[in-house]
Amino acid sequence: MKTFLLPDLGEGLTESEVVSWRVAEGDTVELNQPLADIETAKAVVELPSPYEGVITKLHAAEGETVAVGAPLIEFDVDGAGGAPAADAPAADEPIAEEPVPSPEAGPVATPDETIEETPAAIEPEAKPEKVSVLVGSITVHGGKPVRAKRTWDVEPFSRTERPAERRANRAMPPVRKLAKERGIDLQSVRPSGADGLVTRADLESHGSASAAPATAAAPASTREKVTGLRKHTAAAMSQSALTVPHAATFHQVDVTETLALARSGDASFLALACRAILLAAKRWPDVTSSFHADTNELERFAHVNLGIAVSTERGLVVASIDEAEAMDALALTAAIKDRATRARDNALSMAELTSSNITVSNVGVFGVDGGIPILNPGESVILAIGAVRKMPWAHDGEIVLRDVCTVTVSFDHRVLDGREAAGFLADVAAVLERPSLALAR
């Protein structure tokens, strides 16, 4: 019997949620076969099997949150030839000169660094053991687990060996989660993806076609358990709001020239605004610092790791562009697009989700003029950029229509006083009014 403990799927996370099981108790599974869809604060991922054998017990129900390191699945691997590791051979046992791979062994992860194989003791007629893949380690033919770089780049088990009835139920984890939330049976959806893969578009087109007609009045209210990213966001925002003395200041800015520059060139409006923030941060370096209440210390950073707030279907994430002060407007444009795309694809690394030290939120894309954002824990400043609107404005001694937006700065009053916050915001506004400054490195 083998007990599979829930691994750390996100480099420092303490828990994950079981979105859905791909297996049931009594099922026979193969090495690397997907066992479950697991949601962390970062993404929904497939959890591959580290063993070959029979599932004897599932320790968690769908929707249940499991602590990292807690028992998740019990395996019966006796007689299955799928134990991931064997005891080291005794000194008087014969040693095979070369480990002989099993012809039935499934594909395994290939680490980025060389792993030396430990020869396994085998009897002349004995069938060599299969190789199993553990999260963060590799076992080679009966040797002890050798620590390798953490990787999820494992080859899936052969699709031709999967039961035929499961092929119609294939989808990426985020799509499976969406189907579960909407109560849609994936086997009732016509797939359009490669090799029979059900896509998000397939679910959308399936829509209400499979929905049962209403037979009773809708309930007055419903409750939905908050999990994954939204649970993480709720905890982080509560902590920030309750422990950090927030203050805010506003500035209406004439961005006519910046908007014209963005429309005529390759740099986006948001990238030009970010350049303004980075230039202002040079004069006011404490805007990227972090206050440690437990030690009453102010931590200052050598680089500006600019966080970009991105709205995704799973919720709001902040993707960091590290050392952004070294980038020009064109490089920032490319970096912002890259982070936004990968955030929506759940493809950001944990470092990219946690390394920012100042954040900008472009709330104007939602058509609102502004707001007072809550600080990310550990940060001292977050800026909100509102929608650009035509407004009467004094320009060159005349009242004319100009493109104007509101920029808001929320700040940690333990780190910045009003003069510093106002000075920082005024410098941001000055660059937005004269965008030629934003083009300089």
The mean pLDDT of 179-185, rounded to a whole number, is 80
Q: Is the CB of residue 340 less than 8 Å from the CB of residue 29?
A: no
* pTM, full prediction: 0.64
* Percent with pLDDT over 70 in the chain: 75
Q: Give residue 59's pLDDT.
A: 95
Range with the poorest average pLDDT among 99-113, 381-395, 416-430: 99-113
All structural domains of the chain with their residue ranges: 1-162, 163-210, 245-439
Question: Measured between alpha carbons, how far is 332 from 336 in angstroms, rounded to an integer?
Answer: 6
DSSP 23: -
DSSP 211: P
Q: Is the CB of residue 175 less than 8 Å from the CB of residue 198?
A: yes
Is residue 246 flagged as an active site residue? no
Q: Does domain 163-210 have CATH number 3.40.50?
A: no
Going by pLDDT thresholds of 50, 70 and 90, the confidence category of residue 8 is confident
Q: Give residue 10's pLDDT.
A: 65
Q: Give residue 211's pLDDT.
A: 52
| CB crowding 73-89: b at 16 or more within 10 Å, else e | bbbbbeebbbbbbeeeb
Range with the poorest average pLDDT among 14-28, 52-66, 105-119, 237-251: 105-119
Fold of 1-162: OB fold (Dihydrolipoamide Acetyltransferase, E2P) (2.40.50)
CA distances from 61 to 40, 64, 66, 171, 322 (A): 16, 5, 10, 20, 39
1-162 and 163-210, same CATH topology? no
- For the cut 90, the answer to whether the pLDDT of residue 320 exceeds it is yes
Pairing of β 358-361 and β 306-312: parallel
Question: Measured between alpha carbons, how far is 102 from 265 in angstroms, rounded to an integer?
Answer: 59
pLDDT higher at 272 or 314: 272
| Chain centre distance of CA 312 | 10
DSSP 86: -
Q: Give residue 225's pLDDT.
A: 82
Q: Give residue 232's pLDDT.
A: 85
Segment 214-253, tens digit of pLDDT: 556 788 999 988 887 888 889 999 999 999 999 999 999 9
pLDDT higher at 77 or 384: 384
Written as one letter, the residue type at 340 is A
Segment 153-174, tens digit of pLDDT: 444 444 444 444 444 457 777 7
Estimate the crossing angle of helix 329-344 against helix 269-283, to 10 degrees: 110
What class does CATH assign to 245-439? alpha beta
Structure-token match 């037979």, residue found? 215
Q: Is the CB of residue 18 less than 8 Å from the CB of residue 36?
A: yes
DSSP 300: -
Question: Measured between alpha carbons, how far is 390 from 64 in angstroms, rounded to an integer?
Answer: 50
